[in-house]
Amino acid sequence: MKSYPSRAQWLKRLASRRRGGVAFAFSGGGPLGALQVGQMRALFEHGVMPDMVVGSSVGALNATFLALDPTTAGTDRLETIWRGLQDTDLFPGGRFKASWARMLVRGNRIFENSGIRKLVTTRIGNAVFDDAQLTLGILATDLATGKDRTFTSGEILPTLLASIAMPGIFPPVEIEGRKYIDGGVANNVPVAPAVDMGARTVYVLDATAQNNAQHRPLNRPIDYLVHAFGLARSQRFDIEVPLYASKVELILIPAAPLDFYVPFASMDFTARLIDLSYEHTRAFLSGELRSVTERVDESVEVIAPAK
C-alpha cells in the first residue's frame, strides 16, 4: 500500500531522477542501527550523497534525520544523538529484562512509545515530509493485512512511531483509521520501495547483515522466538536482491564484523558500533576490502570483505 506524495515530493523525485536517482535504503535492527551512522559518515566522506532515503524500523529514524539535514553537519548531529542515548530514553519505566512479565498481562505492549516520541519531537518538532530536503520514505506494516506501506507524505512523527513499533514491545499506531506496526515485520530491508520511488542506484545499509558472531544466545524459549523472527524477516531481502538487481544498481555496504553480542534494547555498545562501522565502510569504499560486485544489470554477486 502506498501513500500518494505531494507536489513537492513529486518535484523532488523528478529532480532525483535527473541527477541519477541515488537512494540509501536503511534496514531495521534495533541498537545495530548505530552501524548505519558509521556507514553514513564514511559514505559522505567518500562523496556519496543520496537523492532519496527510505527506512524501516530504526532505519526509518536514521533516514528521517538524514532527509531533513543531508549534510555532514547533519550526520554529525545524528551521531551525537546516538552516542548520547541511554536504555531508559527508549524504554521508559524500567529495564527491559525486568519487564518480560508484562508479556503475560492483557494489552498490546510492554512499553509506551513516549521515549521515542520525545526523542523525535525534541529534534524535529511537527515536521512533515515536505520539510525534508531529500525524498523520504518510511515503512510500516499494516497490522490487519501484514502488508508494508511506504509513507511519503503527511506528518512524520506518527509514521516513525509506527515504523519502530516492534510487536508486543511498543503499541501499534493508528494512521488514517488503520493500525500499523514495525516496518521490519513485512520489509526489513526496503529495496523495493526505493526502486518504486525512482532510484536507479541503491546503497543498502543493512544493519542485520552480520556474517560474524552477532548471534543471540539460545538459552530460553524467548531467545528462540526472537532468533526465528530475525531469520524470517531476512528472507524477503534474499529473494528481492536478484529480482531488483536486473532493474537497478545495488551496492550492498558490508556490515562491520562483530565478535561480541549486542543485546536487544541495550545502548551500551553504540560508540563501539559506530567507530567499527565507520572504519570498515571507509576501508571498503577505498578499496582496502575486496569487492566482487559488478553492475547488477550484468550479473548479481555479493559484496564480501577480503579474507
In three-state form (DSSP H/G/I as H, E/B as E, the rest C), the secondary structure along 16-50 is: HHHHCCEEEEECCCHHHHHHHHHHHHHHHHCCCCC
Mean pLDDT for the chain overall: 84
Mean pLDDT computed over 289-297: 44
Rounded CA-CA distance 106/89 in Å is: 25
Indicate the pLDDT class of residue 148, thresholds 50, 70 and 90.
very high
> Is the model's pLDDT at 203 over the cut of 90?
yes
297 CB-contact burial (10 Å; exposed 0-12 / middle 13-18 / buried 19+): exposed
Retrieve residue 7's grid coordinates.
507536489
Statement: residue 301 has pLDDT above 50: no
- When pLDDT is cut at 50, 70 and 90, the band that residue 111 belongs to is confident
The answer for 254, left when phi > 0, alpha when psi is -120 to 50, beta otherwise, is beta
3-class DSSP assignment, residue 203: strand
Pairing of strands 135-142, 148-151: antiparallel
CA nearest neighbour of 183 among 222, 233, 224, 130: 233
Q: Within 10 Å of residue 71's Cβ, how many Cβ atoms?
A: 12
Listed range (146-155, 184-193, 210-219, 289-298) with the worst mean pLDDT = 289-298
| Cα–Cα separations (whole angstroms), residue 306 to 65, 98, 223 | 32, 42, 32
Per-residue pLDDT at 190 exceeds 60: yes
- pLDDT tens figures, 6-60: 666 656 655 555 566 999 999 999 999 999 999 999 999 999 999 999 999 999 9
Rounded percentage of the chain residues whose pLDDT exceeds 70: 79
How far apart are the C-alpha atoms of 248 and 246, rounded to whole Å?
Answer: 6
Are 29 and 264 in contact by the 8 Å Cβ rule? The answer is: no
Helix, strand or coil for residue 137? strand
Least confident of 94-108, 198-212, 283-297: 94-108
Q: Cα separation of 27 and 208, whole Å?
A: 7
Q: What stretches of the chain show up as alpha helix (H) in DSSP?
A: 7-19, 34-45, 58-68, 72-84, 87-90, 114-124, 156-163, 191-196, 221-245, 270-285
Are residues 120 and 81 in contact, defined by beta-carbon separation less than 8 angstroms? no
* Confidence (pLDDT) at 172: 96
